Each structure stands twice: as C-alpha cells, then as structure tokens.
Amino acid sequence: MAKKKRKKTKTHRAKLMHSYYHRTGFYMFIWESLKKAFWPIVAVVIGLILFNRYVYNINDGLHHFTETFSRFAVLTTFFISETLLGLIPPEMFIAWTKKTAEPILNLSILATLSYAGGLISYFIGKTALKIKSVKEYLEVKMAKNLKNTRKWGGILILVGALLPLPFSIACVAAGMIKYPFKKVVVFGLFRFARFAIYAWAIFQVVD
C-alpha cells in the first residue's frame, strides 16, 4: 500500500513538473537551444575538414601550438576562460588534447577544470550581489539567464553543462539567485558528458 502511494506521489509530481515546464516554455527553450547548437556543431566540423584539406593542416598547427605553449600555460588559460563566462571556445582546447602524449588524461583534466570553473562562477555570482556596480552590470547583461534560472533552476544548469551554451554564465546566474549549491554540483556533473561527446567528434578530424 505504501509503495503504491509513493509511486502515485512520484507520478503526480512528474505530471506537475511536465505541466510547469510546458507552461513556462522550457521545452521550447530546449528545442530552440538544440537547433541553435546542432548547425554550429555541423558547421564547425565541416569547416575544420575543409580548412584542414584546402587551407592549412590543422594537425601541423596543433603540433606547433603544443610545442610553443607548455601544458601548464594551456590548462591555466583554459581554467581562467571557463571561470570568466567562457571567453574561449573549449573546442580549441579539446583539439589540443589529441596532439598531446596523453590525450584522455588531458581531456579529463580539461573537463574537471571546466566543471570547477563553473562552480567558482557560482560563488562569483553570489559575491557580485554585494558589489552594487557589478550587480547592476550582471543583472543587465544576464537578464534573460537570471529569469530562466529562476524559472527552471537546476535543469538550466544541466542544459548549460551539456549544450554549447556558456556553462559559467548559467552558474553565475545560479549564484546570483542563490540557487542551492549542492544541486549545482550535481547537475554540473553533466559537463563531463559534454566533453566526452565533443572529443569524440573532434578527434575524428584531428589525427
């Protein structure tokens, strides 16, 4: 009897959540995000193939990049970027890992740094509330993100972790609305899945 009651309660909650997400436009947001993400990914992959074949050998460029900059310098630059609103596309660094002596290890480090950068961004967003000028700037710049985070919370963190949307921005918004940090930690773990998927695609192009 108790099991049936719990099952009924879970089903009821699921229906309520579905109704809420449908009413607030969450499903449409996900669909639009997927559409926006799909074609850029395809364009990047095709562009890399064509560029590599007809313009400049990407593998030579990455080899030169690997020899010019130390591993520490590359990882430090990436971490700063992932902490400060995702300034540099992570795909560039994912391609870099393929040319290193230990690609899987370096890819894992990148994913961990990106995840950690997002968590730090959460506290940046939380701290920003105490600085009036920064708070006002972020509230204007991130008005849409703040609005969406208030509506959808952790699900938006998950979307930011998986899709080509700045994960850091989603975490900053979560910090600004004081979304529970424990949930950011859990939903943010999907960041590792994103790096694995992107690495699979990019590694097909980079030898």
pLDDT computed for residue 91 by the predictor: 82
Share of the chain above pLDDT 90, in %: 18
pLDDT computed for residue 23 by the predictor: 64
Beta carbons of 123 and 179 less than 8 angstroms apart: no
Looking at the predicted structure, is the pLDDT value of residue 145 above 90?
no
Q: Which two tokens stand for residue 144?
A: 């849409």
Neighbours of 173 (CB within 10 A): 26
pLDDT tens digits for 84-140? 877 777 888 898 898 888 999 999 999 999 999 999 999 988 888 777 776 776 667
Question: Does the model's pTM come out above 0.75?
Answer: no
d(CA 164, CA 143): 19
Separation of CA 53 from chain center: 30
* Long-range residue pairs from 56-64, CB within 8 A, at least 24 positions apart, any chain: 58/95, 58/205, 58/206, 59/99, 59/206, 59/207, 62/95, 62/96, 62/98, 62/99, 62/206, 63/99
